[in-house]
Amino acid sequence: MRKRERENPCTVCGHYHKFEEGEVCGICGHRMPITSDQTNASCMQTTGGAFPSQIFNDFLFLGTYDNASRSELLKAQGISRILNTVPSCQNLYKNSFVYYSLQDDKVLNFDDAVQFLEKCENEKARVLVHCMTGKSRSPAVVIAYLMKCKGWRFAQSYQWVKERRPSVELTQAVSEQLQAYEHMIFGSNEAIQPTTDSFSFGFAKSDAVAAPAFNTGAAPSIFDRPLDVPQQFAFGAGQGVNQANSTVTDIPMGGA
């Protein structure tokens, strides 16, 4: 590495990489934006653009590290707090936002993350939850929040998030951690066995949990069409669960 590169880290992520040449950071994955209109259009299609996805109006937003790096856009949306789910991602604007960062890069600490989101909700603060690409780690935290605080099962929570951010793509390891967390909350995964005839995944329409008290607009009910749940979800007894005490075990996790 040239001497100038050692003395001049990237101004966005703080790590040493050839950011001016478009090189991707080997630590956090950051790269300088390309100004070409065509490339920007392609980037917007894959990552959702400069703005994060709104999960609940006036409260919860989900996005990428790139979203978290655009302080002026976040302020324009009224976001004042940021939950960073990737330990290697630098918190860029500590004087402008209240940050909470997860410290484990293998196992997501859902309880701590949910507690932070509950505090934001109670204090009526808008919060962004982000990982690197907004596809797996950060959606998993939002799904965990819905299960713990809204009483929704995994399938219902996943569908709510997927409808508002279609790019969500949970990894197998993250899916297993969420199944384990669901088992810990509800005690059993048997009630959500998928069937070919029903889109309720084991819960009848009359048993459906009411929508949360947010201004979410006129979004269609998840019961209006089949739930789009990834095939790798094994709605069995709950992999990754210590059956003796129903605690979540350490499951290696990959993905964004």
Polymer length of the chain = 256
Element (H, E) at 136: none
The two tokens of residue 194 are: 């998928």
Any idea which residues carry the catalytic annotation? 131
Provide the sign of the torsion angle of the four alpha carbons 84, 213, 169, 191, taken in this order.
positive
Decide if 61 contacts 51 (C-beta within 8 A).
no
Strand pairing class (79-84; 126-130): parallel
CA–CA dist 255, 136 (Å, integer): 7
Provide the sign of the torsion angle of the four alpha carbons 104, 108, 109, 112, taken in this order.
positive
The two tokens of residue 95 are: 């004087």
Element (H, E) at 100: strand 98-101
CA–CA dist 188, 4 (Å, integer): 57
What are 87-96's contacts with CB under 8 Å, separation 24+?
A: 88/27, 88/28, 89/13, 89/28, 89/65, 89/130, 89/131, 89/132, 90/13, 90/14, 90/15, 90/28, 92/12, 92/68, 96/71
List CB contacts of 233: < 8 A, sequence separation 6 or more: 154, 155, 158, 175, 179
